[in-house]
Amino acid sequence: MKKAKKAKLEKAGFVVGDTQEFLELSDAEMALVDVRVALAQALRRRRSQKLKISQAAFAKRVGSSQSRVAKMEAGDPSVSIDLLIRALLRSGSSAQEVGRVISRAELRTAAI
C-alpha cells in the first residue's frame, strides 16, 4: 500500500496492518500460506502460459479432474502442498524449478 493512502486511512481512524497480523498467524504459518500461494500461481502459469492447455487437458496430463485443477490453481485449502508439487512435477517442471518457487515465497515471508 502506498504511504499516502496508508496515512489517509490511519488519519480517518482505520488500523492498517497485513494479513499475518489480521489472522494472527505465526511466521511459520505465514510462510506456509506464502508457499501454497506461490505453488498455485506457478501451476496456473505453467498450464496457461507455458503449456497453453485447458484445465481439462492439464487434468488428464497430471491424472486429476478439471475441478481439482481449478481448486489447485485457486490455492484452495483442501488441496495439499504435496498435490501442488506433484502436479508441477508431472507437468514437466523440474525439482529445481519447484525449489525456486518455494524459495521465492520464503523470501517474501522473511521480509515481513
pLDDT tens-place string over residues 5-57: 888 888 898 888 878 888 888 888 888 889 999 999 999 999 999 999 999 99
Binned at pLDDT 50, 70 and 90, residue 79 comes out as: very high
- Domain limits of the chain? 25-110
SS3 for the chain is: CCHHHHHHHHHCCCCCCCHHHHHCCCHHHHHHHHHHHHHHHHHHHHHHHHHCCCHHHHHHHHCCCHHHHHHHHHCCCCCCHHHHHHHHHHCCCCHHHHHHHHHHHHHHHHCC
CATH classification of 25-110 is 3.30.70.1520, yes or no? no
In this prediction the pTM is 0.79
